[in-house]
Amino acid sequence: MSHGKDIEGQSVRPKNQYRRFAHGIRRIRGRALTSTIVSKEVPPLADPLGPENKLIFSAGILAGTSAPNNGRLSVGGKSPLTHTIKEANSGGAVAQKLVRLGFQAVVIEGVAKELISLKVDQDGVRFVPSASYRNLGNYDIIERMRREFGENIGVISIGPAGEWKLKAASVAVTTPDFHIRVAARGGLGAVMGSKNLKAVILDDRKSDQVEIKDKAKFREASTALSKGILSHPLIGIFKELGTSCLVMMMNAYGCLATKNYSLGQFAGADKISGEHMIELMKKRPNGQHVHRCMDGCIISCSNIFTSDHGEVIVSGLEYETIGLIGSNCMIDDIDLIAQINRICNDVGVDTMDVGGAIGVCMEAGLLAWGDGKAALDLVKEVGKKAEKGLMIGNGCRVTGEKVGAKRIPHVKGQCLAAYDPRSLKGTGVTYATSTMGADHTCGNAIPNPANPSYNPSASTGQGPVSQFLQSYFAAIDSLGLCLFASLPLLDIPDLQKHLVACVSAKLGSPLGENYLTHLGISVLKAERKFNEAAGFTRKDDRLPRFFLEEKLLPSGNVFDVPEDEIDAVSAWPL
Ligand code: SF4
């Protein structure tokens, strides 16, 4: 990639520049790279929506290869929602195009004077004036880009919420068949909007295959990895039901976020379950109960949710959206949840923080519990730039404070995921101590039939579990491996060796047996240092008090992990 000139206040970096930050980990990518750049180059006290913040896109190390499920795109920056460092990642087609075009990362600096897009292809990088795309939703912008640039592109874009710098604004990423996946959390869409960047279009026609130094070793390791992943019983469930299998599982376990985290079970769970959704999709025209969000996926946990008439509503409808907008708001109408999901994707806001915001509005009496139509109308207000729409578009904490809610389910400004931490206490420690606010993808300690000795609701012993998972998933996010494909590696240790062997064969250099651990720890160190310099202390690593005081029904659990156990995680690995 050539070194682009400053154009309209933005600049483009030469592609080799970031190797100097390797910290002993060779050729870092994905979350390791986005977090390294943020920690080295963004002043910790910078305004997340100001010119000093940076927005970084990077594919994982194995993106573009035939290793299974390796094509996540990491998006990084300082979060306007949490004011911590942030990486959100997404499936889709873009990461693989990025690496085929020879990029380690795209770093967006400064602020453009006018709304622009960035076009990246074999001829280099150019800025595309985009004033005519102002306030367009993601579905429209993607269609326009397809018409203008053809079918070989991948698109990263923001909707109006990003342009308006709403704190829960998301970044949309296209799949190979032009559905929308989302790097949803932390408000990175607002960072993109603050740069006046509407879209990044990648066209990898005529580009080279990704270089693999030792092809034979790579093939062998990649085949063994795929076989091993598919052998795990959990993968069979994800292949059949997708992530929405978790609705009935978490409901049975009594930790499905329900009625703004006041209950652990939802009476209408079966109506919003994966089992129910699949039956619908099997009957409805154009519905698909299995779908893959990226090339090379061997699980296909996604879906295409359609209306009775076969109109595509959203792809895919996932557990976190169903939990936060469904059970958390007592809405048991799967069609309304899907419609709300579509509007969130189009305007460009995180369904999880918006679901949390609707929940606190319901608790404050602005809407009735379970009134899906009123929730749909409220979400439509975001795109109209109406007062209440802007409020929920700024997420759960802002909304809760505005409506005077006493129980606001957030950590550092970010809404919890749809797992109640009183019964999943390891996940609770992760919510409290992750470098990114309440974020289950940083280390979700859910019950696992393959590991029956782990008790997720025990009061002690959760710190080390969360600590291990936080390091593990920091490494996984740096390789670009899909989280679901990474779960079997926790139970079948040989699979970690195959994964590391893939990386080693790709790079053409041996990697130590503790490669994943070292990689994860180095990422967390950089992230924690940044947060510490931004003013965060152990006191910030706490769950809202109501989780410690109110008993969760039906178990009667409270979150009672001792503070010193939580503090030990906060202090590590610095
Ligand atoms: S398992 Fe699901 S999330 Fe992961 S790559 Fe496949 S479709 Fe995407």
Distance 316 CA to ligand 1 centre (A): 10
Atom 2 of ligand 1, residue of closest alpha carbon: 301
pLDDT tens for the chain, 574 residues long, are 223 333 344 444 444 343 333 344 447 999 999 999 999 999 999 999 999 999 999 999 999 999 999 999 999 999 999 999 999 999 999 999 999 999 989 999 999 999 999 999 999 999 999 999 999 999 999 999 999 999 999 999 999 999 999 999 999 999 999 999 999 999 999 999 999 999 999 999 989 889 999 999 999 999 999 999 999 999 999 999 999 999 999 999 999 999 999 999 999 999 999 999 999 999 999 999 999 999 999 999 999 999 999 999 999 999 999 999 999 999 999 999 999 999 999 999 999 999 999 999 999 999 999 999 999 999 999 999 999 999 999 999 999 999 999 999 999 999 999 999 999 999 999 999 999 999 999 999 998 877 888 999 999 999 999 999 999 999 999 999 999 999 999 999 899 999 999 999 999 999 988 999 999 999 999 999 999 999 999 999 999 999 999 999 999 999 999 999 999 999 998 8
pLDDT of residue 17: 40
pLDDT of residue 143: 97
Beta carbons within 8 Å of 265's beta carbon, 6+ residues apart = 251, 254, 256, 258, 553, 554
pLDDT of residue 289: 94
Distance 292 CA to ligand 1 centre (A): 6
Which pTM does this prediction carry?
0.95
Distance 503 CA to ligand 1 centre (A): 20
Atom of ligand 1 nearest to the CA of 298: 6
Atom of ligand 1 nearest to the CA of 71: 5
* Adjacent-strand bridge partners of 202: 120, 154
pLDDT of residue 27: 78
pLDDT of residue 447: 86
pLDDT of residue 433: 98
Burial class, 387, CB count within 10 angstroms (exposed 0-12 / middle 13-18 / buried 19+): exposed
Mutate to test the pocket of ligand 1, among 299, 318, 476, 477 (most ligand atoms within 8 A of CB): 299
DSSP state letters, 427-467: HHHHHHHSBTBS-GGG------TT-TT--TT-SSSHHHHHH
Atom of ligand 1 nearest to the CA of 302: 7
Three-point CA angle 475, 478, 484, nearest 5°: 70
Atom 8 of ligand 1, residue of closest alpha carbon: 293
Mutate to test the pocket of ligand 1, among 290, 302, 476 (most ligand atoms within 8 A of CB): 302
Judged by DSSP in three states, 157 sits in strand
Token pair, residue 471, equals 């390091």
Distance CA 62, CA 441 (A): 19
DSSP state letters, 288-344: EEEE-SSTT-SS-BEEEEE-TT--EEES---HHHIIIIIGGGT---HHHHHHHHHHH
Distance CA 451, CA 449 (A): 5
Judged by DSSP in three states, 13 sits in coil
* Adjacent-strand bridge partners of 326: none
Distance 299 CA to ligand 1 centre (A): 6
Which one, of 187, 183, 199, 192, lies nearest residue 88 by Cα? 183
pLDDT of residue 84: 98
Beta carbons within 8 Å of 138's beta carbon, 6+ residues apart = 157, 158, 159, 172, 180, 345, 346, 347, 348
Task: At 506, give phi and psi (nearest 5°).
Answer: -65, -45
pLDDT of residue 11: 44
CB 116 within 8 A of CB 196: yes
Distance CA 280, CA 325 (A): 19
